[in-house]
Chains A and B, each alone.
Chain A
Amino acid sequence: MLHTPFYDYHISQNARMVDFAGWQMPIMYTSIVQEHEQVRTSGGMFDVSHMGRVYFRGQDARRFLERICTRRISNMAHGQCRYSLICNEQGGVRDDVLVYRMGDDDFMLVVNAANRTKLLEHFRQHSAGLSVTMDDRTEKSAMLAIQGPRVMDVIGRFSDEIPSLKKYRFTTKSLLLFKVTVSRTGYTGEDGVEVILPANVAPTAIKMMLDKGGDAGQIIKPIGLGARDTLRLEAGMPLYGHEMGEETDPISAGLMFGINLDKDEHEDGEPFIGQDALKAIHANGPTNRLVGLFLDTRRTARQDMPVLHNDGTVGRVTSGCTSPTLERSIAMAYVPAELTEPGTIVQVDLGKQAVDAEVCALPFYKRPKPVAT
């Protein structure tokens, strides 16, 4: 079982630890609902060190990533992050990733913990003959997501530059003896950053920020994986293994924004793995689509529960929870394309009973626009 550099910190905070993709991770510290509300109203800090961080360098690094990723890479600026899918030849999703571009020939991918081993093999296979080196630095580094409406104020006490970063941009700061990468990214629907730092300084860094940062420890509290899941679900963000998998294509999952079907037509473009399959799905329109559901119950829909229409099974639930923000039972589900109109009524089979559910557009929750002051 792997431990992140923050393991001792989690134990000191009385976290309940669980096995997640081979890592001991905190599921919660106090209560999933309280932690969820903490992030929506103030700020939270998530240990996401279990996510894979893999660096690619070399004169073919860009070309390699163009082949691997569904999203265009060549026009990324230095200091830019971009969400992309990695697909198989059938157009199924191998993973969803964040690509960081540090330089012309210098990139990093942040990948899901559960897919890291599989992807390293995929990368090896598809980099054969190319001049690119791969360096998996997951276990040598740590990563924190700091998210919530009051987070940027606290970070502003330490840095002028970071609060001015645009969304999906990052900066690398050299502190005394080490480098820290900070990106304006996240997975909660709130503003915030994700921070990558060397493993050996991580425990000290977290103490400095939360213990020595005045009231920072009140504004930003540790949050477990339980609330990470309910936060991303409210924000309508898909999770690998739920809304996405090797058998589901990203177009059905509503992730067209993460695909550039024509990217091989650019001068510096390359065809990507899964491109032909995705072009066909795009041309015909997907048979099923991911939608949001409001359930007419206080019960919770769980993954793989059937979605019914006219007494027949027409789809399946991928994720569900009682939304702490909306105080309603919400779910994401795949339904046939003709049932995706918001307001359509379907049923969800909860096991002992079927209940009505209203189709809605995603996301369920959008953070309020900041009010000018």
Chain B
Amino acid sequence: MPCPTDRHYADTHEWHKLDGDIVTLGISKFAADELTDITYVEMREPGTEIEAGDPVGEVESVKATSEVYAAVSGVIAEVNELLADDPGLVNRDAFDNGWLCKIKVADATALDGLMDGAAYDARHPA
């Protein structure tokens, strides 16, 4: 299934969806599948200031622990509380209910340097 086209994709498999001054961040279905069953998600606390390229948290799976990076600077506004009890939601619904955190941004132009859905799909064919 093609990736949603309403967002921006990083080389490191995070998707970023801009809505006003909020960027919602998650990992692609491809990345979630590669990680296998996700067992734990820990994002940095709401209120934390982050710079573009900083890790915003970690995702652990049966196989590996991976850092998650944000491509934008801003402040963590919210983390997905559903994942505390149900980290597998990232595997089942990576692009929607399995989002990881929301970041309040002043400037979202950094997203223009990322891939669109078609470019990401071309790189990681399902």
A-side interface residues toward B, CB under 8 Å? 16, 27-28, 31-33, 226, 230, 298-300, 302, 321-322, 351
Contacts and interface: CB of A to CB of B under 8 A. Distances in A.
Contacts of B33: 16
Nearest to B62: A32
Contacts, number: 37
Q: Main SS of the interface on chain A?
A: mixed
Contact of A230 (B40, B42, B62, B88): B62
B40 A299 contact: yes
A321 B88 CA distance: 15
9 contacts: A16-B33, A31-B37, A31-B88, A31-B91, A230-B62, A299-B65, A321-B62, A322-B62, A351-B65
B24 to A, nearest CB: 24
Nearest to A27: B36
Given A300-B62, A322-B40, 14 more contacts: A16-B33, A28-B36, A31-B36, A31-B37, A31-B88, A31-B91, A32-B37, A33-B37, A226-B36, A230-B62, A298-B40, A300-B65, A302-B64, A322-B39
Nearest to B60: A300
Contacts of A302: 64-65
Interface of B: 33, 36-37, 39-40, 42, 60, 62-65, 88, 91
B88 A226 contact: no
Given A31-B37, A300-B40, A226 B65 contact: no
A233 to B, nearest CB: 10
Contacts of B64: 302
A32 B42 CA distance: 21
Contacts of A300: 39-40, 60, 62, 65
B36 A298 contact: no
With most chain A CB atoms within 10 A of its CB, the pick from B42, B62, B88 is B62
A210 to B, nearest CB: 24
A239 to B, nearest CB: 15
A33 B65 CA distance: 16
Listed from nearest, the 5 A-B pairs whose CB atoms lie closest are: A322-B39, A33-B37, A32-B62, A32-B37, A298-B40
A351 B37 CA distance: 21
B122 to A, nearest CB: 21
With most chain A CB atoms within 10 A of its CB, the pick from B36, B40, B64, B65 is B36
A79 B60 CA distance: 44
B89 to A, nearest CB: 13
Contacts of A298: 39-40
A113 to B, nearest CB: 19
A226 B39 CA distance: 14
B62 A226 contact: yes
A300 B65 CA distance: 8
A185 B62 CA distance: 26
Nearest to B87: A298
Contacts of B65: 299-300, 302, 351
A351 B88 CA distance: 23
B62 A33 contact: yes
With most chain A CB atoms within 10 A of its CB, the pick from B40, B63, B88, B91 is B63
A302 B63 CA distance: 9
Contacts of A299: 40, 42, 60, 65
Nearest to A352: B58
Contacts of B62: 32-33, 226, 230, 300, 321-322
A321 B63 CA distance: 8
B40 A32 contact: no
Contacts of A31: 36-37, 88, 91
Nearest to B92: A31
